[in-house]
Structure 1
Amino acid sequence: MNDLDTCLSCHRDLRDYETSRYLCLPCEDRIAVHLGAIPGLFERLDDHLHRGAGRSGPAVSGSKSAPIPCRLDVLDLRTEKGPVLAPLETWVRDWEEAGYAEVNELGGATDRVTHACRTLRFNLSRAAGQHPAIEEFADEIATIWRTLTRITTGETAPRRIAVTCPCQQTLRITLDTRGETCPRCQTEYGHAEVLRLPLAERRAAA
């Protein structure tokens, strides 16, 4: 049970119909969308395994040119212990211990990612009301979704902006950040608050 009456993910006050939950309904919906999209994005990684894939068309049979090197970052994402499948199945195991889900490690990587996402999505509402680590789960699912989206769409990582906390600590944020905690004074900022902090002054070149 959440005794704080605030969403652990976006930190806004919970509505009357959301009290005792760990997540507000919009955050739960966002996680559900991410879980629904991850399997398809994961399957599309094969199209981006080689450098230049998707931009110059398929390789021509019999070409004498050197083979296109694999993208190691994409290859790592596809592995069993990589940053997609491993954390998804770790959460399924964690939820299984709490009685929310069942682990299934049969089939290939895409099948296992699909099963994990389907299982976590099916049990999401229950976990949003009962699992105290739901904030960590939400952040990890969002990270997986952003990583796969940038690989498959070619989007670059959002530009980071340096702002200054009143304690003079520099924080590096993005325009879509949900919030930030200052490592020096431990002040917690929500999305709107952290965007209102003054820009950090550029240091003069030595």
Structure 2
Amino acid sequence: MPYYVHSDPNADDGHWSTGGMRECARAGRCSDPRIEESGGKTVRLPALTPRAFCTADRDAVARALDALPALFVRVHMELGNRGSGSGGPVVSVSKSAPVPLSLGADELLRLILATLVSWEERVRTVARLVPLDTETSRQRRDGAILTQAWTILAAHLDALLALESEPMMRDGELVYLDGGDAGLDILYLAWRCRALLTETAKAARHLHGVPCGSCGFCELREVLDDNGQQDGARCRQCGAQYDAETYKALVAEKSAPIRLSGAHRRGLVATAGDDRLSRRA
């Protein structure tokens, strides 16, 4: 069965008219946002794409899916660590001595399996593969469930992301989900694993008082090198990047005069013809 045209991996976003596009399913977290003017302000909007995700975020979903098997194994190794996102009680798995079990890790493992299998079932349908035998699948070991679901999804990723909206069971309720939701699920599962393994990055520090040289907004966030030292900055508003040297030059050019005028509090950028003396007065 061919993939939906809007999910063709060979499609070039630039060959489609705006009318045939839709916004990237990652919305405000889109990795390749477009910058537009609205009401006299610069706004950051999701990329327009003929598929569920822009190319950058489709690749992000692929990387998250590739990482899930190894992350699953590592989370499984945390089952015996009660400090892994749990703090729950000791769970007895037999009549012998109770075994300390991380309820956080256990819940996450079950969520991963249930989520991947639910999408596996839908991909099997659109790809015309043998339907999943629910009763037999429940008797398999976790590793076998994960391996089979991951193999199907990895081999048909673009078919997965092209799924149309259909009802699926989530938390005991039927909700309508499509390929965009599938990609978001995969990204979320990978993030949950890294969070439990304490591998999620700390929020980038806001570099107050320094406006972006491209859009003028004071929305610069620090960029760190491999040693955790500041190595530049990135604008959260327009996405402009600054290495260490260009950021240093930007600070020298913009920071001092704007702090004197107070314009940084209003998101204004001083220009060459700006009468700073009058403004300070």
Give the TM-score category using the shorter length: 0.5 to 0.7
**TM-superposed deviation, 1:77:** 2.7
CA distance in 2, matches of 1:50, 1:37: 22
For residues 108 and 68 of structure 1, do their structure 2 counterparts lie closer, same or farther at Cα, with a shift above 3 Å needed?
A: closer
1:38 is aligned, of 56, 68, 72, to 68
Q: CA RMSD in A?
A: 3.6
**Aligned counterparts, 1:75-90, within 5 A:** 75-78=106-109, 82-90=110-118
Normalized against structure 1, the TM-score is what?
0.57
CA distance in 1, matches of 2:51, 2:201: 32
Kept in 1: contact 2:191–2:200 (CA 8 A): no
What one-letter code is carried by the residue in structure 1 that aligns with 2:198? G
What one-letter code is carried by the residue in structure 1 that aligns with 2:192? T
Kept in 1: contact 2:52–2:161 (CA 8 A): yes
**TM-superposed deviation, 1:141:** 0.7
Q: Counterpart of 1:99?
A: 127
Instruction: Report the number of matched residues.
Output: 148
Q: Counterpart of 2:183?
A: 138
**TM-superposed deviation, 1:47:** 2.0
**TM-superposed deviation, 1:22:** 2.5
CA distance in 2, matches of 1:88, 1:115: 10
For residues 114 and 194 of structure 1, do their structure 2 counterparts lie closer, same or farther at Cα, with a shift above 3 Å needed?
A: farther
Q: Counterpart of 2:175?
A: none
CA distance in 1, matches of 2:161, 2:82: 41
CA distance in 1, matches of 2:101, 2:75: 12
**TM-superposed deviation, 1:120:** 0.8
Q: Unpaired runs of 5+ in structure 1?
A: 15-19, 55-65, 162-174, 176-190, 199-206
2:154 is aligned, of 110, 121, 145, to 121
CA distance in 2, matches of 1:156, 1:128: 25
**TM-superposed deviation, 1:39:** 1.1
User: Sequence identity of aligned pairs in percent?
Assistant: 20
Kept in 2: contact 1:92–1:116 (CA 8 A): yes
What one-letter code is carried by the residue in structure 1 that aligns with 2:74? R
1:7 is aligned, of 3, 7, 24, to 24
Secondary structure, in 3 states, of the residue corresponding to 1:137? Answer: helix
Q: Larger Rg: 1 or 2? A: 2
Kept in 2: contact 1:93–1:101 (CA 8 A): no
CA distance in 1, matches of 2:236, 2:145: 38
Map Cα deviations across residues 35-83 of structure 1 (whole Å, 9 max, x no partner): 11111111222321123689xxxxxxxxxxx9772211112233xxx21
1:72 is aligned, of 99, 103, 110, to 103
- Which one has more relative contact order, counting CA pairs under 8 Å at least 6 apart? 1
Which of the two has greater strand per residue?
2
Kept in 2: contact 1:8–1:134 (CA 8 A): no
What one-letter code is carried by the residue in structure 2 that aligns with 1:76? E
**TM-superposed deviation, 1:99:** 2.8
Q: Counterpart of 2:81?
A: 51
What one-letter code is carried by the residue in structure 2 that aligns with 1:77? L
Map Cα deviations across residues 56-114 of structure 1 (whole Å, 9 max, x no partner): xxxxxxxxxx9772211112233xxx211001101111222323655372631122112
CA distance in 2, matches of 1:154, 1:86: 23
Normalized against structure 2, the TM-score is what?
0.43
For residues 121 and 143 of structure 1, do their structure 2 counterparts lie closer, same or farther at Cα, with a shift above 3 Å needed?
A: same
CA distance in 1, matches of 2:148, 2:155: 10
What one-letter code is carried by the residue in structure 1 that aligns with 2:157? L
